[in-house]
Structure formats: structure tokens, C-alpha cells
Amino acid sequence: HNGETVSFDANGDPVASYELVNWKKRDSGSIDVVPVGYYDASQPEGQELRIYRDITWVDGRTQVPQSVCSNSCPPGTRKVLQKGKPICCYDCVQCPEGEISNVTDSPDCVPCINNFWPNPVSNACFPKPVEFLSFSEVLGMILAVFSVGGACLAVIIAAVFFHHRACPIVRANNSELSFLLLFSLTLCFLCSLTFIGAPSQWSCMLRHTAFGVTFVLCISCVLGKTVVVLMAFRATLPGSNVMKWFGPPQQRLTVFTFTAIQVLICIVWLVVSPPYPVKNLSTYKDRIILECALGSALGFWAVLGYIGLLAAVCLVLAVLARKLPDNFNEAKLITFSMLIFCAVWITFIPYVSSPGKFTVAVEIFAILASTFGLILCIFAPKCFIILFKPEKNTKKKLMNKKATVVPAKAT
């Protein structure tokens, strides 16, 4: 009768229809009831509710208030209910280390699978970065440059010695052992390159065995030169024929024998339990360290211990020969070079069992430092005399020194 439309559903029941009113408080304190919209269930889906006037909320605000106890927890956190309060009241707690949540209001965090680690906001898992000393990073490039530079230096010194091979200072210091020592020093410099790059089965075996064999070859040559210095001085005494017991054939045999022993140790090590590449997941949780496992720790320490034994013997003999006459002063240079060699490797020993690319860098540094110490201490003074002090590079100079020393020793 009043013109209103009445609707019924399929069951004959009237369809819900409501008017929405807004209670607005005046300055005087009275309340106005203002229609602001309606709800009609007979309208098409999505059009049941219609607001045609702004709604005023508490204190005159027009922003819709939040009817919640706590805000939603973002991804990377989980909900923890507040004790003694309704279930809508909770705290947002950051996911523990190694776990993530990737949905809003997550009740739990889930751990990342193996070889994955959360991003900084703990809402996604990403593959763990693999760490090793590579040629592409600054540290690897610097060490590689010093390694190649050292090898080039050894080749240049060898060229200088070969060009002046007939001069007295080269001949007086056992040119054959000198060239063999320079060759071994070149290999020592280059073997440090095998420690750079991603470890593989072959590189792990090569880096330790190449290091062991080349350094024994080097120390054997130094030891041979030291013994030659001692024997040469003894040979200057009246009636001495000691040099026939340690001539060039015996020197070559000594170097070969000492090196062959190290080769044998390395072969046994590689056959029984060789080094191999391994992914270290335990040292650091957020990254994978790709490194070479020793295989047999006994084999590694046997290689290193044999080098240390030869170095110690060489150092002792060089110390004994350091007070010989000036024309045999190579023993003083050998003493200083072996002191540097031993000091470097004694310093390195505490880092042997430490993982990570910086430990590899320290090992390479030890190789380069000890090799540079040998080549500079033994050969730099001779090259300086050959190139810049030719007046000292004469047989007469050496013979004059001998003449002043031998009588004193003979009496």
C-alpha cells in the first residue's frame, strides 16, 4: 500500500532488506540518526550493499577503525598467542635462523632444505653460496700475479746465469746445482696456482703432491749447495781429497735420492687415501665451503714433515758453515734464506686444519713467501755483482781471498 517493493526467495520467505544509519553526535551532545546506505539481498551478487553518504566514526574521524587486537604478522614471522588474552591477540616473532614463513599470519616457520638458506627477511629460501678461492676475485688475482711473477723472476735469473755461465762467481757457486735450484723454484712458484680455483679430484691430488715434490727438490738443491760449501772449504786444507767423495755425480745422486723419497711418500699417499674435494656444510650455516679433504692426515704430515726435516738439516749445516772465509759466503745467504723458510712454515702450521678460502690464501702466501725468500737471498746478491759490480766478479779477486785465508787455516 505504501509503494515499497517486497521480495521473496524460492521458499516464500521475505528477502532481507536493511537501512544503514549513522549515529552522529552534535556539538550540543544530541544524537542525529542519518541514513547512509542500505543492504538489499534481492540485488545482484556484489551489489547488495550500497553506501551513498560518508560515514562519520568515533571522534569525527572518517577512516574506518580496525577492529583487531593485533596487526597481521608479515611473511618472515610467525604468530605467538598472548597468554590470557583472546586468540586475536598475538605477537609477531621473527623466524629462527635457517627457517622461513612466506605467508601472512603464519602460525609456524619451516626450515629450508639442504644446501638452501633464508634471505635476510626470512620469507624465501635461496641456494647457499659456494665459497672457494677463485681466479676471478681480487685476492686470487693478486696471488696468481705474484706466482707468475716469481716464476718469471726465476727464469730471468736463470737467463742471466746462463749468459754469464763462464764468469767466476757462477762457476764458483756450483752452476749445475744453481740451474737445478732455479728450475725447482720456478715449479714452486707455479705449484701455488693449483691451490686457486674450484677444487676437483685431480686438482686436490695435484696441489699437495706438486707442492711436496717441488719443495723437496728445492731444499735438496739448497742442501747440496750447503754441503758443497763445507766440502770445498775442507778441500782447501793441505792433503785433503774430500771433494772426490762429493763431486758432481754424488751431488746429482743426493738430489735425486732425497726427491725420490718424497715421490715415494706421495705415491703411497695417493694410492692408500688420496685427497678429494668435499662440500663443507658444518663450519658455516649460511654458505658452503668447497675444499680439499686430506684423505690421509698421516700422508699429508709425512710430506710436510719430510720437507721440515730436510730444511732443518740444511739450516744446521748452513749455520755451521756461516763463518767460513768470504769466498765461501754463500753459506751465510743460505742460512738467512732457510731461517725465512722455517719461520714462514712454522707460522703457517696453526692454520692447516682451518677451513675456508682465506686458509688456502695463507697457504699460498707461505709458499710464495718462502720461495721468494730462497730466490732473493741466494741469487739476488750474485746477480747484483754480475750486473752492477763486475770488478768483483774476477778469478783474481777470489784467488786473492783464498791466499789470505788458507795459510791461517793451515797453521
The structural domains of the chain, with segments of one domain joined by +, span 15-65, 77-127, 131-396
User: Given this model, what pLDDT does residue 328 score?
Assistant: 47
Backbone angles phi, psi at 19, to 5 degrees: -100, 135
| Whole-number Å distance between alpha carbons of 359 and 290 | 12
User: Mean pLDDT in each 10-residue stretch from start to end of the chain (411 residues)?
Assistant: 71 84 82 86 84 80 77 90 85 91 90 89 90 89 94 93 80 77 92 90 89 91 80 56 64 88 93 90 85 87 90 84 59 79 78 72 88 88 81 61 39 31
Alpha-carbon separation of residue 377 from 159, 333, 338, 382, 397 (angstroms): 18, 6, 9, 9, 22
- In the numeric block, which cell numbers belong to residue 383? 746477480
User: Given this model, what pLDDT does residue 247 score?
Assistant: 66
* Cα Rg of the chain, angstroms: 42
User: Given this model, what pLDDT does residue 242 score?
Assistant: 54
User: Given this model, what pLDDT does residue 329 score?
Assistant: 56
DSSP letters, 134-157, are -TTSHHHHHHHHHHHHHHHHHHHH
Fold of the domain built from segment(s) 131-396? Rhopdopsin 7-helix transmembrane proteins (1.20.1070)
Q: Which of 380, 363, 320, 311 is nearest to 339 (CA)?
A: 311
Q: Which residues contact 299 (CB under 8 A, 6 or more apart)?
A: 265, 266, 268, 269, 272, 273
What's the whole-model pTM score? 0.71
Alpha-carbon separation of residue 369 from 51, 365, 373 (angstroms): 82, 6, 6
Asked whether 271 and 237 are in contact (CB, 8 A), the reply is no
User: Given this model, what pLDDT does residue 406 score?
Assistant: 38
